[in-house]
Amino acid sequence: MGALKYKDFVATLDFSEADNVFYGKILGVNDLILFEGSSIDELNKSFKEAVEDYLELCEEVGKDPYKSFKGSFNVRIPTNLHKKIFFRAQRTGVSLNQYIKNVLEKDIEESAESYC
C-alpha cells in the first residue's frame, strides 16, 4: 500500500478490511514493531509513538535500534543471466561485483521509493 518515514525509520503500510484498520511494520530493526490506526492521522501518530517508544527502550537496555548490514549478500539467479551479467561487466571494464553495485546504485537513485 505504501510507506511512512519518521526520523531514520521506514515502515510498510497496509489496510485490513476485516478489521477496518490501517497497520504497519517498522523495517530495518532487529525486533518486530507493529502499529495501527483507524485513520491516516491516527496511523501516523501511532507510527511516531512506536518509534519513540522503541528508541527509549533501546536506550534503556543499551541496544542499537538499527539492524546492522554487513555489506554483502547472496543472490541466486539463473546461470544464463549470470553469464550475461559477467560478459556485460567485462565489456564495461569492471568486475562483476562492481557492475552489480553500479546497477543497484543507479536503480536506487532513480527510484521514487528510496527512503534511506
Has residue 107 got a pLDDT over 60? yes
Half-sphere exposure (Cβ direction) of 10: Cα atoms closer than 13 Å: 10
Has residue 16 got a pLDDT over 70? yes
Has residue 115 got a pLDDT over 90? no
Q: Which helix (H) or strand (E) holds 108?
A: helix 96-110
DSSP-derived letter for residue 86 is H
Cα–Cα distance, 44 to 52 (Å, whole number): 12
Has residue 1 got a pLDDT over 90? no
Cα–Cα distance, 72 to 10 (Å, whole number): 21
Report pLDDT for 116: 54
Three-state DSSP class for residue 112: coil
Cα–Cα distance, 9 to 31 (Å, whole number): 13
pLDDT (tens digit per residue) in 70-90: 999 999 999 999 999 999 999
Tell the residue number behind the cell numbers 503500510, with chain if given. Answer: 13
Cα–Cα distance, 12 to 29 (Å, whole number): 13
Report pLDDT for 2: 80
Strands lying side by side in the sheet with 2-6 = 2-6, 9-16, 21-27, 34-37
Three-state DSSP class for residue 72: coil
Report pLDDT for 44: 95
pLDDT (tens digit per residue) in 17-70: 999 999 999 999 999 999 999 999 999 999 999 999 999 999 999 999 999 989
